[in-house]
Amino acid sequence: MVFLAVQVAVMCLCVVGAYDMDLRCSNISGVWVNSLGSRLSLSVDGLRLSGSYKTGVESSTGSAGKAMTGKVVGVLGSGVHPTFAMSVSWRGGSVTTWAGQCFQGVSRPVLKTIWLLRSQVPVEDNWMATRIGEDTFHRQKQNKLA
């Protein structure tokens, strides 16, 4: 009976430990989704960020490319709530850059970002080539027991 109680306690600690990893900003690797359905897949190697970004929206049809996916490159700051910057170069010639920070949300971390989207235009259209906005990304829950 004692052995069974110990097994249950160990299993509970493993599940809580796995769940706790989603509650912290100490590792922002993983899949993140924003309110528009864009999907950010991040890998961290030291202070370098890499991954992919599949946009849920385009400023004009085809501007992000047929797959609407771009390669992410970036840098990561340090600390409990790390800052970061990342960029994507789209097939249509535009680039997007995000600067942000990981914060502890109610149930899991969130990435709060400001972005700049620069479209490739002739010089006379320079005035309208940059858009600015903000995104909040929520970590997509992973099945820890699979």
For residue 129, give the amino acid letter.
A
Q: What is the pTM of this model?
A: 0.76
Residue range 46-97, pLDDT digits in tens: 999 999 999 887 555 554 446 578 999 999 998 889 999 999 999 888 999 9
- Token reading at 76: 């990561």
Query: In which band, very low, low, confident or very high, does the pLDDT at 143 lie, cut at 50, 70 and 90?
Result: low
- Token reading at 6: 């110990």
pLDDT (0 to 100) of residue 56 = 82
Residue 43 counted as domain residue: yes
Query: In which band, very low, low, confident or very high, does the pLDDT at 16 lie, cut at 50, 70 and 90?
Result: very low
pLDDT (0 to 100) of residue 18 = 44
32, with CB counted inside 10 A (0-12, 13-18, 19+), is buried
Residues counted in the chain = 146
> Would the CA dihedral through 29, 86, 23, 133 be positive or negative?
negative
Residue 144 counted as domain residue: no
Residue 74 counted as domain residue: yes
Residue 115 counted as domain residue: yes
- Token reading at 31: 């899949």
Instruction: State the residue range of the domain holding 84.
Output: 2-139
- Token reading at 77: 């700051």
Residue 146 counted as domain residue: no
Residue 109 counted as domain residue: yes
* pLDDT higher than threshold 80 for residue 30: yes
Which of 41-45, 63-67, 85-89, 104-108 shows the lowest per-residue confidence on average (mean pLDDT)? 63-67
Percent of the chain with pLDDT over 90: 61
**Helices vs. strands in the chain: H and E counts, helices first:** 1, 8
Work out how many domains the chain is built from and give that number.
Answer: 1
Residue 145 counted as domain residue: no
Percent of the chain with pLDDT over 70: 74
CATH number for position 67: 2.40.128.30
The answer to whether 40 and 110 have CB atoms below 8 angstroms apart is no
Query: In which band, very low, low, confident or very high, does the pLDDT at 17 lie, cut at 50, 70 and 90?
Result: very low
Nearest to 83 by CA among 97, 106, 72, 99: 99
* pLDDT higher than threshold 50 for residue 13: no
Instruction: Round the average pLDDT of the chain to a whole number and report it.
Output: 83
Residue 92 counted as domain residue: yes
The answer to whether 18 and 99 have CB atoms below 8 angstroms apart is no
